[in-house]
Structure formats: C-alpha cells, structure tokens
C-alpha cells in the first residue's frame, strides 16, 4: 500500500442503517479524485459502532466496487473477534487487513508483539499494524514495530500518533524490511513522506482527496517544498474534521461537496448549521 489511502466514511441513514448504494457511489467518488487505495472499516468509518456482520458487509461492497487495493480494518479488542473479522475480510476480497492495537485493557510490549504475530500467522492476507493512541491510549513502541517488521505476513503499519519523531524512529527500525510505513495524520503527511513514509491513510483524503493525493505526487516528483506548502494550507481543514468535529464534521464537508456521505451513527450527532457553514468555508479555502 503506497500513496494516498482513504479511511472511507460509511454512509448511514438517519436510523443508522447502511446505505449500500451510497457506499458504492462513495467508492467511485474518491477513486475519481485520485486516491491510491481504500480503507473500509477504519476509525473514520465508525467501525467501532458496527457489528462484525456490518463491517463485513461494508468490506464486501467496497471490495466489489473498488479498482484500487483495499486495506480493510479488522481489529477488535480481542483476538478471537479479530481473527474472525480478518478471515471474513479476506473472503470478501480485501487485499490486506489493518489491525488496530488491542484496547480497553492495558498490555505490555511482549503481549502486543505476541498478539500481532498470532494474527499474522493466522491471517490469509497481509497484516498492517495500526497505532492510534488518541482513541486507544495504546502506543506501539518503535522497538516492537521493528521486531514485527521482519514477520513474513506483516506488511506495514499505519501510525496515527501524529508524532513525527516516533515515525522517524519506526522508519529507522524498518528500513531494511519489506514494510510499508503509512502516515495516519494529515497534518504531517508531507513531513512524514520526507521522513521516509511510503504513503498515508488520511481522514483528509475523504474531504479533499484531490489535495491529499497532490501532496503525495508533489513529494514523489521531487517538489517537497510545494508539498509541504500545500499541506500547510490544509491543516485547519484537517483539524476541523478530526480533533474538532470528528466524523460528523467530515460527513458535513463531504455532503457540501456533493458526496453521499450519509448521516453519522449514534451516539454521534450531526453538526449544527453554524458549524456546517464554518466547515464549508474551510473546504472552499482548501480548493483555492
């Protein structure tokens, strides 16, 4: 998985049911705007608000519609559920599995390493580590990442810590392995690419897939300064759809752009009209 990946939003109706036709349309919408791979059932997809069966159905639809690689989120707090979800994703046609760190209970480094080795050994598709401490309060150490990078069926990692130093330390420990290091924070996408990352999985790629993809193309084309300048222009939009207003904010921006993003699932609530206007202005500014 190289380039710009999108942790695809999941369109629900006002009752919280999946809008399958809208999901199919959404896959085409982001592909037409330049993303390199699609990640269904990630954090921005509201995966933790879906059942195993619902997540599987989302993955089936995305895998059926996509013409780019599919990296399906399959992680749960427990091993058994993760293995079940990962096998289902493989059967649905996903190319690889993105497995979040086990959360709720605390685990030491040895336990986390053992968990990922077990998942990788049982998984029929390549496994990508997923560290998102803002949601899980779990951090994969660079030492554990380096250790796991040598496993034949662990293909990479999404680091959503937003910590550039940690990303650099992970790259230093995996540079000799066949291991895709993916930036998970839109604020440091260009800087992460400069540090040796292979791409990113960005909430920003939902609302501004053209711009997120352009950052990658500029950096790969040797125009690092332009990539960083473009990234800087997108920081306020990225902050608004992540730390400030989250998934409901991202869906509001996509709706303003004509994408069938649907409603957020409860306990999320739609943003206010005032916030919607604020987000529309940020999205418009990002296009200039």
Residues recognised as catalytic: 130, 158
Q: Is 201 annotated as contributing to ligand binding? A: yes
pLDDT for the residue 286: 80
List, for residues 73-122, the tens digit of each pLDDT value.
999 999 999 999 999 999 999 999 999 999 999 999 999 999 999 999 99
pTM, whole model, 2 decimals?
0.96
CB-count burial class (<10 Å; 0-12, 13-18, 19+) for 4: buried
Instruction: Tell me the H-state helices in 142-257.
Output: 142-148, 164-174, 189-194, 204-207, 209-220, 224-233, 235-239, 246-256
> Do the Cβ atoms of 91 and 123 come closer than 8 Å?
no
Q: Would you tell me how many other CB atoms lie within 10 Å of the CB of residue 67?
A: 8
SS3 158: strand
Domains of the chain, with CATH numbers?
3-224 (3.20.20.70)
Q: Tell me, what DSSP letter sits at residue 62?
A: H
Residues of the chain with pLDDT under 70: 288
């Amino acid at each position: 998985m190289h380039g710009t990946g999108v942790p695809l939003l999941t369109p629900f109706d006002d009752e919280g049911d999946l809008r399958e036709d809208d999901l199919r349309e959404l896959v085409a919408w982001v592909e037409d705007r330049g993303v390199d791979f699609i990640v269904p059932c990630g954090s921005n997809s509201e995966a933790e608000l879906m059942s195993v069966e619902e997540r599987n159905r989302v993955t089936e639809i995305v895998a059926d519609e996509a013409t780019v690689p599919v990296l399906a989120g399959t992680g749960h707090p427990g091993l058994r559920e993760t293995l079940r979800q990962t096998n289902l994703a493989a059967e649905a046609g996903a190319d690889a599995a993105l497995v979040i760190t086990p959360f709720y209970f605390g685990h030491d480094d040895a336990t986390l390493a053992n968990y990922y080795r077990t998942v990788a050994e049982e998984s029929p598709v390549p496994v990508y580590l997923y560290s998102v401490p803002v949601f899980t309060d779990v951090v994969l150490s660079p030492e554990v990442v380096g250790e796991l990078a040598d496993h034949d069926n662990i293909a990479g990692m999404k680091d959503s810590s937003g910590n550039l130093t940690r990303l650099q330390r992970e790259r230093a420990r995996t540079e000799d392995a066949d291991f895709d290091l993916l930036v998970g924070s839109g604020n440091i996408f260009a800087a992460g690419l400069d540090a040796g990352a292979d791409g990113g999985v960005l909430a920003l790629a939902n609302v501004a897939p053209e711009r997120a993809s352009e950052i990658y193309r500029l950096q790969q084309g040797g125009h690092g300064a332009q990539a960083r300048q473009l990234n800087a222009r997108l920081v306020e939009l990225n902050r608004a759809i992540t730390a400030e207003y989250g998934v409901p904010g991202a869906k509001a921006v996509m709706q303003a752009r004509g994408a069938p993003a649907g409603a957020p699932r409860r306990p999320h609530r739609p943003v206010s009209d005032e916030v919607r206007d604020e987000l529309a202005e940020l999205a418009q500014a990002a296009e200039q």
